[in-house]
Amino acid sequence: MIRLLLAVFLLIGLFVAGPLMAQDEWGEIVIPPQKPIKIGVGTMLTGDYASMGIDIKNGAEMAILEKGTIHGHPIQLQAEDDGCAGPPSVAIAEKFCNDPLIVGVIGYMCSGGSKPASDIHNKYKVVMISPSSTAEELTKRNIPVFFRTCWNDIIQAKRAADFAIHKGFKRVAVIHDKSDYGQSLAEAFLKGIKEKGGEIVATEGITRGDKDFTPVLTKIKPLKPQLIYFGGMAAEGVLIVRQMKRAGIQADFMSDDGCFTEKDFIQAGGKAAIGSYITYAQEPSPQWVERFEKKYGPRQTFSPQAYDATVVLMSAIEKVAKKKEDGGLVIGKKALRDQVAKTEIDGVTGPIKFDPNGDRTGSVVAIYQVVEEKGKAFFKKLDF
Amino acid sequence: MESEYKKRLFYGLVFLGLILLPQFVGNYWSHILGDVGLYVMLGIGLNVVVGLAGLLDLGYVAFFGVGAYSYALLASPHFHIHIPFLVLVPLCILIAMILGALLGLPVLRMRGDYLAIVTLGFGEIIRIFLNNLDPVTNGPKGLLRIDPFRIFGFTIDEPVEWYYTILLGILLSTFFYKRIMDSKIGRAWMAMREDQTAAELMGIDLLRYKLLAFSIGASFGGLGGAIFAARQGSIFPENFSLIVSINVLCILILGGMGSIRGVILGAFVLVGLPELLREFEQFRMLLFGLLLIIVTIFKPTGFFRPEKGLKIVND
C-alpha cells in the first residue's frame, strides 16, 4: 500500500518535471524584450559574517552599476541571504535556478553552502562564480558550472608554507578553528612545511567563538616554535595574536585571508598585531579602492573578487547573447559556461583565467605583513 | 455523526490540496515546503517527548544529526558503502532510537530545568563528536555526494519529488503519533507528565516509559535526518547546531504543545515565513523576530489548544 502510494506520488512528480528541449545542449535562457537580465548574488546578509557578505554584494553591485546595460537590456542584481550554510544556500539555489530571468549567480559565500548548492546548479546548468568559497573539493568534483575568482585552500596554504620556509622558519606550530575552512588550510600548510623539510611541533584545534586560548598557547610555548600558523577567521585570530604576546611566546604569527581585515585584525589587535604575516589576494588597484570606498565606505575582504566575478559573468553574457527580432535575447547555457571558461581578462585582482576545473590559475595569493609607519598600522605587501 | 463526516471531508480536501500544491508553486516553493515538512516531522517527534511525556529536551537535534550521519556514512562514496534506502532508513531510525534510549538512562532521575541542561549538553556533545571524529565523519569538511533515494530504478532528486516523499513521511508520523497517543503508552506518558509521583504510585513503570518516550521521540528525528541527508546531498556538522533544537521547540511553543495542527502551523510560521520575507534583505530577520514577539504577546499559549483530554500544567 505504502509503495503504491509512493509510486503514485512519484508519477505525479514526473509529469511536473518534463525535460525542456532547446537548441543549446543545456537549454537556453530567453530574456523577453524590455525585461532586465538578472544576476543572482548568494551571500550572507544577516548573521555572524554579514559584514563580509554585504561587502561581496556591494562589489557585485558596483560592477553592475558601472556596466549598466547588456545589448540594451538593463542588468538587475538580486541579492539573497545564503546564511553561510547548507540549507539556506540550497533553498536560494532552487530559487535562482528556477527564475527564468536569472542568467548566472555570484556565490555562494561559504564553502559549506557552495558544496550542496553547486549540485543544484549543475542539475539546472546555471553558471555560478564564487568570490569566496575556497574549499578544495569544490573544484575536485567535476562540476562544469562552478568557477571561482578566489584561490583554493591548497594554493593559499602552499604559498604560505613556501614563504615560511623562505623566511627560515623551521619549527612551526599550527592552530586551526576546526572549521571546514581553517582545518583545510592548516592541513595543507603543514603538508607544505613538511615537504620543504620544516618541522611541525604542534597541531591544535580550537573552537570557533571561544575567547580564551591560553591553555593551547601554554601547551605550545615550551615547544619553542619560530612561527605559529593559524587557519581561521579574524575573531579568533586576533585573540590568539594578543594572548600569544601575553603568554610570552616569541614566535611570529601567520594567518590566512580570514584575518585580512583592517577593523577586526589590525585595529582590534593593536600593538600585538604588528609584524603578523597574512596571506591574501593581490591588493586591488588604488583607483578601484577609491571608487569603491567613496560609495560604500571601508571595504572588507572579498568585494574585489565579487567585482571581478561579476565582470567575468557579464562580459561572457555579452559575448554569447543573441538578439532576437523582437528585441529579446537568447543565451545558450552551455555557450555561456564555455565562454566563462575561456575568460581571459585583467581584473582588479590581477589577470583572470580558469583551469579546466574552474579554479583560477596563476599566482593570485600575495603575502602581507602588518607594519606601522608614521603612527598608522596597515597591511604592507611583501615581495615574494 | 454529521460533524465527524464534515471533519473527514475537511481533512480530505486539505490532503488533496497538499497533493496538488506543488503543481502551482514550482520548484523553489516545493523545496521550501519540503523544509517546512522536515520541521513538521521533527516537531511531531519532539512533541512525543515534550508534549506527551513532559520531558523538556533541548538536545533533539542530536537524533536528527545521528539519523543524517548514519544515512550519509552508509550511502555515500566516503566508505564506498551504498545500502539501498528501503533498508537503510529503518536502520537510521533504529540507530536514533537506541541513542534515544542511551540518553534516557543517565537522565532518569532528572526533571524540568535540570533535564533541559543535560539534554542541551548531549546535543552539543553529538555535534562536537561529528566535528572532531575526522577519520569517521570527515570532520568539518562534511560528507559529500550522498545517494538520493532510489526506488525501482527511479531516483528522487527533484524538489517536487522530495515534497511528496516528505508528505508521506509526515502522514506516517502523524498516524503513528495519533495511535500511540491513544494507546496505553500514550496515556501513561500523559499521567507521567501531569504528576510523576502519582503516576508511579498508580503502577506506571517510570523507567520503562521514560526510555520509551526518548527512543520513540528520537525515531522521528532519525527519519527526518535520513531524508535531510539524502535530499541535501551533502551534510556538515554545522547543520546540526543548537539552533535546530531551539527552532523545533519554538515550533511546539508557537503552535501549542501537544497538538499536530499546531506543529504544522508553527513550522509554516517559523520556517516558511523567513522565506516569504526574503525581499526585505537585511531586515528580514529583524522583521521575523518582531513578528514572533507579537505572536507571543497575543497568543501566549500558542495558536492551538492541546487536543482532546490534554492539558498543560505549569509546575
ipTM of the complex: 0.83
Q: Are residues A243 and A223 located together in one domain of the fold?
A: yes
Residues A218-224, mean pLDDT to the nearest whole number: 91
Distances (CA, A) of B193 to A89, A375, B63, B108, B115: 40, 66, 22, 14, 14
The residue-averaged pLDDT of A138-145 equals 89
Strand duo B81-82 + B75-76: pairing? antiparallel
Q: Which residues, numbered 39 to 68 in chain B, qualify as contacts with chain A under a Cβ-Cβ cut-off of 8 Å? A: none
d(CA A146, CA A106): 10
**Which residue in chain B is spatially nearest to A50 when comparing CA positions?**
B282
**pLDDT tens digit sequence for A145-155:** 999 998 888 88
Least confident interval from A130-139, B159-168, B287-296: B287-296
Determine the Cα–Cα distance for residues A178 and B133; give it in Å rounded to an integer: 11
3-class SS letters over chain B:
CHHHHHHHHHHHHHHHHHHHHHHHHHHHHHHHHHHHHHHHHHHHHHHHHHHHCCCCCCCCHHHHHHHHHHHHHHEECCCCEECCHHHHHHHHHHHHHHHHHHHHCCCCCCCHHHHHHHHHHHHHHHHHHHHHCHHHHCHHHCECCCCCEEECCEEECCHHHHHHHHHHHHHHHHHHHHHHHHCHHHHHHHHHHHCHHHHHHCCCCHHHHHHHHHHHHHHHHHHHHHHHHHHHCCECHHHHCHHHHHHHHHHHHHHCCCCHHHHHHHHHHHHHHHHHHHHHHHHHHHHHHHHHHHHHHHCCCCCCCCCCCCCCCCC
A162 interfacial to chain B (CB closer than 8 Å): no
Q: Domain segments of chain B: what residues?
A: 26-242
Closest residue in B to A138 (Cα–Cα): B144
Whether the pLDDT of residue B285 is over 80: the answer is: no
Residue B155 near chain A (CB below 8 Å): no
In a domain, A13, yes or no: no
Confidence of residue B307 (pLDDT cuts 50, 70, 90): low
**pLDDT band at residue B304 under the 50/70/90 scheme:** confident
pLDDT digits (tens, 9 = 90+) for A114-125: 999 999 999 999
* Mean pLDDT calculated for residue range A231-256: 91
**Does A1 map to a domain?**
no
Q: What range defines the domain where residue A258 resides?
A: 154-282+365-381
- Count: domains in chain A: 2
Query: Residue A18: pLDDT above 70?
Result: no
Q: What is the CATH number of the domain that holds A272?
A: 3.40.50.2300
Least confident range from A164-178, B113-127, B301-315: namely: B301-315
pLDDT at residue B220 tops 90: yes
Is A117 found in the same domain as A71?
A: yes
Top-confidence residue, B25 or B188: B188
Pick from A228-237, A374-383, B303-312: least confident: B303-312
Q: Which amino acid is at A168?
A: G
B165 and chain A: CB distance < 8 Å anywhere? Answer: yes
- A19 assigned to some structural domain: no
- Are residues A271 and A311 both part of a single domain? no
Q: Specify the pLDDT at position B315.
A: 40
The average confidence (pLDDT) of chain A is 88
Q: Please tell me whether residues A115 and A176 are part of one structural domain.
A: no
Q: Is residue A292 in a domain? A: no
Residues A319 and A278 in one domain: no
Q: Does A184 touch chain B (CB under 8 A)?
A: yes
Q: What is the pLDDT of residue A130?
A: 94
Residue A18 lies in a domain: no
Task: Check if the beta carbon of residue B235 is closer than 8 Å to that of residue B69.
Answer: yes
* A10 within domain boundaries: no
